[in-house]
Amino acid sequence: MKTIGLLGGMSWESTTLYYQLINQAVKQRLGGLHSAPIALVSVDFHEIESLQHEGRWDEAGAFLARAASQVQAAGADCLLICTNTMHKVADAVEAAIDVPLLHVVDATAALAREAGRRRLGLLGTRFTMEQPFYRDRFAQRYSIDILVPGAAEREEVHRIIYEELCLGTINDRSRARMLEIIDGLMASGAEAIVEGCTEIGMLVGERHTQAPLYDTTAVHAEAAVTWALTL
């Protein structure tokens, strides 16, 4: 079994889910006392969040590139960036390592295409929903169209992520609002919803809605296990 590299801490709330989901999947597939070989570097999200909101993406990319090199040095055979938003600097991270970067969009798009879905609603940080790095990868590589909520709703989702979910706060009123936004995307023609922030699955799961969901944390973790177990 190959060693899975995790670049985490953005936020640590969702990084714990990556660790848990990867090990659960390995146990399910291999049984017994099997667990996943993992190399993890967890950064201080305060520093990253400041760079994000100040628009200092080149500095953020250099920061994560250094951390990715540490993950590789710890023995990782692949790398996952355990956050959707920081895939904006995926090219800088990938250039700093010699092992494969398993991209969260690639893993999610593969499942959508397998299901025959070509139009997806997207929830995430304002950066992920509004900037082209995420939706363009869906469109250009997989011919999948991405729908996003309106401006006020995008701001609300962004606030819920940073002010609640990244702090481990689960608010029923925020869940209800998120479900309203999901319903709006589905009514606008989305065939499924991409939970394009690694914390959103903490708030909204399949038990809360009839809309098909792609929890990118779970999708990314499962893709990593498949990769690690492939000879």
Residues acting as catalytic residues: 83, 197
From the DSSP assignment, how many helices (H) and strands (E) are in the chain? 10, 7
Task: Output the DSSP codes for 126-163.
Answer: HHHHHSHHHHHHHHHHH--EEE---HHHHHHHHHHHHH
Residue 212: what are its φ and ψ, rounded to 5°?
Answer: -60, 135
Task: Output the DSSP codes for 58-74.
Answer: HHHHHHHHHHHHHHHHT
SS3 107: helix
Q: What's the Rg (C-alpha) of the chain? A: 17
Q: What single DSSP character describes residue 3?
A: P
Backbone CA torsion sign across 34, 110, 154, 79: positive
Query: Could you tell me the two tokens for 182?
Result: 């999901």
> Furthest-apart CA pair in the chain: how many Å?
49
